[in-house]
Structure 1
Amino acid sequence: MENKYPQKPGLDFILKQAFFYWNKTLIFQLMFSVMYFGILMTVFFFCDAKYGIMSQYIETTKYAQQGLDVYRAEIQKMITTDSFQNFSMWMVGTIIFLYPLNIGFYQIYRKIDLGEKLELGDLLVGYNGFNFFKYIGYYIFWYFIFAYTIQTLILGVAWVYMTIFVAPLMFFMNKTIFESISLNFKGLKMYFLEITVCIIVAILFKYIGFALFLVGGLFTFPFWNSIIYSLYKTVFSEKH
């Protein structure tokens, strides 16, 4: 496979294309969010009932009246308990398990390009056979590096830039993680400004639905995927 770097399409074209894919798949956006938050909240409440984390946290907030240092010390004490560690492992594991839902949108957007009929099963393509282990393995790798680097903020943001195209490159071109990161660098050098603006738009639009319309966030939460696909189509060619 090779990259294509002809005359660059304008940023407005990339964004219009992303909103086109999002608008054409609103029902899938909703189904994604319902499944994602439904499973996440089910696990959250199950684990809270088992480990009592919320009651521990409420109890800890009382120390805020004694000063910030005391409050921080109590929070630190809480997060080092076995119950909190087990709770965290359950929640991180659930987030990792849900990641392949995002892969389904690449299948859906490609079907739109090809004029093919969309099906509910398209959203679950990331869980089919070896795909499940492939994308779960990638996200475990991605998540733990991100969790470590985000503490410095700059390195966390850099990691997002370095991996923004990895999932679609793995899906469409069957590249390995490290091959995808290498190709990602090449695209980043040519389209850094466009990628930066698109990341900002994606983050703002992703959460604005929750901030302004609450339930509307169920439609905007997966918007990130249409941005990535639109950028991917602009930056890369799948021709031999």
Structure 2
Amino acid sequence: MQNKYPQKPGIDFIMKQAFFYWNKTLLFQVMFSIIYFSLFFTVFFFFSGRYGIAEQSQEVADQLKISFEAYSEAVAKMASTEGFQKFYLAILGTSVFLYPLNLGFFQIYRKIDLGEKISIADLFVGYNGTNFFKYIGYYLFWFIVYLYTFQTIILGVVWVFITLFVAPLMFFMNKRLFEAISLNFKALKIYFLEMLVCALVAFLFKYLGFFIFFVGGLFTFPFWNAMIYSLYKTVFSEKS
């Protein structure tokens, strides 16, 4: 496979492409969200109830009325308990397991480009074969780094941008993790403004449905994938 950087397209073109893919796959957007939230919240409420996380969280929140120092100490104390750590690991494991669902949209969007028929099975392509372990391994690595870098906020945002294309590069070009990050970094230096504006639009639209009309979030939550694919297709060219 080869990759190259063609003449820069307009930001409006990239966004129109993203909304085109999103609009063409609304049924799959809803299916994705229902599957994602159903499994995530099932695990969340099960382990939250089992380890009394809700009660502990309320006790921690009450400490904020006393002082921020008391609140910080309560948070640290709760986080150190065995029950909370098991709860956290369960949530992390669920998030990692659900990540390959995002890869399904790349398959669907590519089929739309090729004029091929899309099906429900395409949404689960990220779970096929050994690639499933590659994708969950990548997301686990991504999340751990993000967890530490997000504490500075700025580094967390930087990490998001230097890994924006890693998943599609691994999916379409079979690139290794650090090779994909390297290509992503090169693209970022050339397409920084386009990536920044499109990422902001994608982030806002992703959660817009929850704020305006809660159920609408089922349609907008996976929009991020459409924007990434639109950017990826514009920035990279695949050749055998």
For Structure 1 versus Structure 2, the TM-score category normalised by the shorter chain is: over 0.9
Q: Quote the residue 1:40 is aligned against.
A: 40
Q: Quote the residue 1:100 is aligned against.
A: 100
Contact 1:125 1:131 (C-alpha < 8 Å) held by counterparts: no
Q: Quote the residue 2:193 is aligned against.
A: 193
Letter in structure 1 aligned against 2:219: F
TM-score w.r.t. length of structure 1: 0.97
Question: C-alpha separation between the residues in 2 aligned to 1:64 and 1:10?
Answer: 48
Q: Quote the residue 1:138 is aligned against.
A: 138
Alignment of 1:111-126 (within 5 A): 111-126=111-126
Contact 2:2 2:237 (C-alpha < 8 Å) held by counterparts: yes
Letter in structure 2 aligned against 1:82: E
Q: Quote the residue 1:10 is aligned against.
A: 10
Superposed displacement of residue 62, structure 1: 2.5
Contact 2:29 2:218 (C-alpha < 8 Å) held by counterparts: yes
Q: Quote the residue 1:110 is aligned against.
A: 110
The alignment partner of 1:8 has SS state of coil
Contact 1:53 1:84 (C-alpha < 8 Å) held by counterparts: yes
The alignment partner of 1:156 has SS state of helix
Superposed displacement of residue 45, structure 1: 1.1
Superposed displacement of residue 58, structure 1: 1.5
Alignment of 1:19-34 (within 5 A): 19-34=19-34
Tell me the alpha carbon deviations over residues 60-81 of structure 1, each in whole angstroms, 9 at most, x when there is no partner. 3232332222222222211111
Tell me the alpha carbon deviations over residues 90-139 of structure 1, each in whole angstroms, 9 at most, x when there is no partner. 10111011000000000000000011111001000000111210101111
Alignment of 1:51-200 (within 5 A): 51-200=51-200
Contact 2:205 2:223 (C-alpha < 8 Å) held by counterparts: yes
Gap runs ≥5 in structure 2: none
Question: C-alpha separation between the residues in 2 aligned to 1:40 and 1:218?
Answer: 14
The alignment partner of 1:175 has SS state of coil
TM-score w.r.t. length of structure 2: 0.97
Contact 1:103 1:126 (C-alpha < 8 Å) held by counterparts: yes
Q: Quote the residue 2:230 is aligned against.
A: 230
Question: C-alpha separation between the residues in 2 aligned to 1:13 and 1:31?
Answer: 27
Superposed displacement of residue 33, structure 1: 0.3
Superposed displacement of residue 59, structure 1: 2.5
Contact 2:6 2:235 (C-alpha < 8 Å) held by counterparts: no
Letter in structure 1 aligned against 2:87: F
Gap runs ≥5 in structure 1: none
Q: How many residues align?
A: 240
The alignment partner of 1:66 has SS state of coil
Runs of 4+ in 1 over 6 A off after TM superposition: none
The alignment partner of 2:118 has SS state of coil
* Distance change (3 Å), C-alpha of 1:69 and 1:128: same
Question: C-alpha separation between the residues in 2 aligned to 1:60 and 1:163?
Answer: 35
Question: C-alpha separation between the residues in 2 aligned to 1:122 and 1:217?
Answer: 22
Tell me the alpha carbon deviations over residues 159-181 of structure 1, each in whole angstroms, 9 at most, x when there is no partner. 11111000000000011101111
Letter in structure 2 aligned against 1:51: Y
Tell me the alpha carbon deviations over residues 188-219 of structure 1, each in whole angstroms, 9 at most, x when there is no partner. 11111000001100110001110111000111
Superposed displacement of residue 3, structure 1: 2.5
Fraction of identical pairs, as percent:
65
